[in-house]
Each structure stands twice: as C-alpha cells, then as structure tokens.
Amino acid sequence: MGILMILFTIFGGITRSAQSSINGTFSRKAGTIETTLLTFITGTMFLAIFMLFFGQGNILAISEAPKWQLSAAFLGTLYLLLTVMAVPRIGVIATNIAGIAGKLVIGMLIDHFGWFNSLVIALDIKRTFALLFMVIALYFIYKGNKRTSEETDAQHVKSYKNAAL
C-alpha cells in the first residue's frame, strides 16, 4: 500500500505542475485572483459530485471540528494563490521546488515537535542534508531560469530592432 501511495503522490505532483503552468499562463489574461477563484469553483463542483458517490455522508461534521483545524482550508487557498502568482515570474520548476522546500521545512518541524497530533520523528542529519540539497537545487534552478529569461529577453529585443529596420 505504501508504494501505491507514493505513486499516487507522484501523480498528484505531476498534475500540480501542469496546473501551476496552466494557471500561471491563464492568470496573465484573467488575473491571479480570478484564476484562483475559477480553480476553487471547479474544484468545489467536482468534489460535490465525488462526495455524492464516495463521501462518508456527514458534511455537517465539519462544524464539529475545532476551529483551528478549519484554517487548513485558508492555507490551501493561500498556497494556490501564491503559486499562481509565482509561476509567471520564476517559472514552474522554481515555484514547485520552492514550495517543496517550504513543505520540507515545516514538515520537519511538525514531525520533530509532534505538532497537530502528528508522529514525532526527530530531526536528524539525513533530513537536514535533504533540506540543504533542496535549497541548493532551488538556487541553481532559479539562477538557470533567470539566465535563460535574460537571454530570451535579449533575443526578443534584438528581433524587435531587426524588424524595425
């Protein structure tokens, strides 16, 4: 079952990157907030249908949850909004690597301290190196994106000047 969950998560990452790229492009035309709203409206419709067939049948149980747990919905919305804002500016891979690095940092703290009733998994050297390598990867990807973007901009300016002559 663990391998299946890893495969599902990999597929989720694939869909997330595709969504980030499409939303980033779409936001240039429709706007960042409007694109994010469309994503959540579509998601709400999809989940309402999905819930009819696979739900546990107690949507009112949401009101019984501790109020602090409801903050997760806001955090998910904020994550999507920030992702839609970042993709057109720094690219899909830099956005996703930055998001993963952020997830690693908070995930390590949550695991280490057992926040939110999670398992306690001590921070060790292996996890610290994993985070360090992720930050190094982010640095190189961002620098590579920036260099490529500058080269593309220079080519566009050169093409524009040639066309004007």
What is the dihedral sign for C-alpha 98, 12, 7, 111?
A: positive
Residues 80 and 62 in one domain: yes
Instruction: Supply the pLDDT for residue 43.
Output: 92
Domain boundary among 89, 124, 151: 89
* pLDDT at 151 exceeding the cut of 90: no
* pLDDT at 149 exceeding the cut of 80: no
What is the percentage of the chain residues whose pLDDT exceeds 70? 90
Residues 80 and 99 in one domain: no
Q: Give the structural domain span for 121.
A: 91-165
DSSP letters spanning 52-90: HHH--S-GGGGGGS-GGGGHHHHHHHHHHHHHHHHHHHH
Residues 69 and 102 in one domain: no
Instruction: Supply the pLDDT for residue 123.
Output: 93
Given pLDDT bands bounded at 50, 70 and 90, which one contains residue 163? low
Determine the distance from the C-alpha atom of residue 45 to the mean position of all C-alpha atoms in its chain, rounded to a whole number: 21
Instruction: Supply the pLDDT for residue 124.
Output: 94
Torsion of CA 142, 104, 31, 72, to 10 degrees: -170
Least confident of 2-11, 58-67, 147-156: 147-156
Question: Looking at the 3D structure of the chain, how many domains does it have?
Answer: 2
| Mean per-residue pLDDT, 133-152 | 82
Given pLDDT bands bounded at 50, 70 and 90, which one contains residue 152? low
Q: How far is it, in rounded angstroms, from Cα 27 to Cα 84?
A: 7
Instruction: Supply the pLDDT for residue 59.
Output: 85
Domain boundary among 71, 89, 107: 89
| Mean per-residue pLDDT, 32-50 | 93
Domain boundary among 89, 107, 139: 89
